[in-house]
Amino acid sequence: MMWIRRLVSFAIALTMVVIVLGAYTRLTDAGLGCPDWPGCYGFLQVPQDHHAEIAASRFPERPLEPHKARNEMVHRYFAGTLGLVIAGIFLLSCWQQRKVQLLPASLLLLVVFQAALGMWTVTLNLFPLVVMGHLLGGFTLLTLLWLYRRQLTQTDSSALVVPLRLRRAGTLACAVLVGQIALGGWTSANYAALACVELPLCHSGWTSQLRIAEAFDLHLGHDNYEFGVMSKEARQTIHVSHRLGAIMTVLVVGFFAWQLWRFSRTLPVSAAQLHRRQAQWVLLLLLLQFCLGVLNIWWLLPLPNAVAHNFVAANLLAATVLARYGLRQQCHAPVAGTAPQYLSSGRSPA
């Protein structure tokens, strides 16, 4: 069990690196730095300047840009290594438990699907739906790894009565956060991050320029989606939607963190520390993410800040899901007029 915990911890760290590299690749416009997959201009190593002639003969429509090819291939190397590590986790878990477990199997299937999305990102020339799905897949992978690590390290605890409103608040917070991350991915994939550079919303008269139908249309049939295919008004609509979503996310996720902290004050010391720490992490990451989003506009999308915005979003999702998962492990609140129901272990409250 110790070895699989260590391997999962390594996979978590490696997934964070892959998420950072993926954001860096996307934000440096290197998503098509290699026009083929899994190689790059037919090479498995990073092509250099002296490969330009060979690259031009193979892909005359896309001249070699070595710095973009490097960004793309480094991301692929780390992502490929992560895939092998997760395959190792799956095999080790099967060997130790003598059966296929849900989370390791889900991780393996997801990382295979992520590889397919990475391929389609290139072969479909940055089709926005695929780019957004690739982003969500990476964040989901990190979250599932944290959940699996939690399962491997958790110990039995006393059964507690969790208010129904708190569990519902946690579920809503997770749903809203996933929706906001999807909006952020859609914003990035359609090159709408700087469609509005004013604060707090957009330029005067933006309400009359909304293009909802175009903004959320898939725009099928284009040969290439690099640098976007939507109108300025549609990109502004996407951008404003993401900003409004940010306000809703702060309110909903912040409310959940506050309720979780209040709940922790009613618990025994050992249980209270865990839930209070989770609430603090969710709130800290939420405020940091909101500030990074504002600074993206204020500073006109500086690369380090934009990469950090992706990284913090992934960790905020993981922290929120972990907090909600911790409540799921507890028993349901009793219905009025009935005796409390406790976990199947048969334990009763102290």
23 with 306: CB under 8 angstroms?
Answer: yes
Give the pLDDT confidence of 283-299 residue by residue, as tens digits: 999 999 999 999 999 99
Active-site residue list: 72
Which residues, 6 or more positions from 89, have their beta carbon under 8 angstroms from its beta carbon?
Answer: 4, 7, 8, 11, 104, 107, 108, 148
Tokens of 178: 């996933």
Structure tokens at 158: 């006393």
Contact 193, 296 (CB under 8 A): yes
* CA neighbor of 314 nearest in space, from 136, 79, 195: 136
Reported pTM = 0.92
pLDDT at 255: 98
Mean pLDDT of 196-213: 92
* pLDDT tens-digit readout, 57-102: 999 999 999 999 999 999 999 999 999 999 999 999 999 888 889 9
Answer whether residue 345 shows pLDDT above 50.
no
Buried b vs exposed e over 189-221: b needs ≥16 C-beta within 10 Å?
A: bbbbbebbeeeeebeeebeeebbeeebeeeeee
Residue 350 has what pLDDT?
35
For the chain, the average pLDDT equals 91
Q: What is the pLDDT of residues 108-122, one digit of tens each?
A: 999 999 999 999 999
Judged against a pLDDT cut of 70, whether residue 104 lies above it is answered with yes
| Model confidence pLDDT, tens digit, residues 274-283 | 899 999 999 9
Quick: pLDDT tens for 209-257. Answer: 999 999 999 999 999 999 999 999 999 999 999 999 999 999 999 999 9
Return the sign of the alpha-carbon dihedral for residues 316, 320, 323, 325: negative
pLDDT of residue 154: 77
Cα separation, 306 vs 313, in Å, equals 11
* Cβ atoms of 145 and 314 closer than 8 Å: no
Position 158 scores a pLDDT of 59
* pLDDT tens per residue across span 253-276: 999 999 999 999 988 887 789 899
pLDDT recorded at residue 269:
83
Q: For a pLDDT cut of 70, what percent of the chain falls above it?
A: 92
How confident is the model at residue 161, as a pLDDT?
Answer: 82
pLDDT in tens, 303-319: 999 999 999 999 999 99
Tokens standing for residue 38: 């899994």
End-to-end Cα separation, the chain, in angstroms: 31
Size (the chain), residues: 350
* DSSP secondary structure letter of residue 178: H
pLDDT (0 to 100) of residue 340: 39
